[in-house]
């Protein structure tokens, strides 16, 4: 299953989807997330953080101005926001290469704004359908990510 689509119907369900994925993640994964303003990228990231065991006293917010936040859970969570960047070279100043594919999960919001290719294991596109409903498209890049998407789809189907 290289690709999977799902619709969430609330912010809580968007966080749940992120949490389920966070529970499955192994170190070295890089997720590229795209979607318009207000699509739920940060809400999804909050769920990922919960699934990674990031303590609730470490709020997960969009790093739009700082460009990156690091959260500590069972593995480190490197949360990038590229809204204010436009070139791949801009990432080197942030030390991106040191984090991506390292000892944690790297999540890149606004990945579609960068000119040039970023290596990824999973590309996630979020579309805002209405005030509450979001359409997610997960595209696996590589064999390991295919298994991750399959496990996420199975977890979603059996969720409580």
The two three-digit tokens of residue 107, written as one number: 């999540």
Asked whether 42 and 61 are in contact (CB, 8 A), the reply is: yes
Counted domains in the chain: 1
Residue-level pLDDT at 86: 63
Query: What is the CATH classification number for the domain harbouring 63?
Result: 3.40.50.300
The larger pLDDT score, comparing residue 134 to residue 83, is at 134
pLDDT tens track for 75-100: 999 998 877 666 666 667 777 777 77
Q: From residue 58, give the alpha-carbon distance in Å to each of 54, 73, 77.
A: 7, 10, 11
pLDDT at 1 over 60: no
CB atoms within 10 A of CB 99: 20
pLDDT tens track for 5-63: 999 999 999 999 999 999 999 999 989 999 999 999 999 999 999 999 999 998 888 76
Residue-level pLDDT at 54: 96
- Note the Cα 129 to chain centre separation in Å: 19
Where in the sequence is the domain holding 116, given as residue range(s)? 3-158
pLDDT range class, residue 66, cuts 50, 70, 90: low
**In whole angstroms, what is the distance from residue 96 CA to residue 137 CA?**
25
The larger pLDDT score, comparing residue 107 to residue 117, is at 107
CB atoms within 10 A of CB 113: 15
């Amino acid at each position: 299953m290289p690709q999977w689509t799902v619709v969430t119907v609330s912010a809580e369900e968007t966080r749940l989807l992120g949490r389920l994925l966070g529970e499955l993640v192994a170190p070295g994964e890089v997720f590229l997330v795209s979607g318009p303003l207000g699509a739920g990228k940060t809400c999804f990231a909050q769920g990922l953080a919960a699934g990674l065991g990031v303590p609730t006293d470490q709020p997960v917010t969009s790093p739009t101005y700082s460009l990156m936040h690091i959260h500590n859970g069972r593995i480190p969570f490197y949360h990038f926001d590229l809204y204010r960047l436009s070139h791949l070279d801009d990432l080197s100043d942030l030390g991106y290469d040191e984090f991506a594919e390292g000892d944690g999960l790297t999540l890149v919001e606004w990945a579609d704004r960068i000119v040039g290719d970023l290596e990824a294991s999973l590309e996630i596109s979020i579309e805002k359908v209405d005030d509450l409903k979001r359409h997610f498209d997960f595209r696996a890049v590589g064999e390991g990510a295919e298994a991750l998407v399959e496990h996420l789809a199975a977890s979603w189907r059996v969720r409580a």
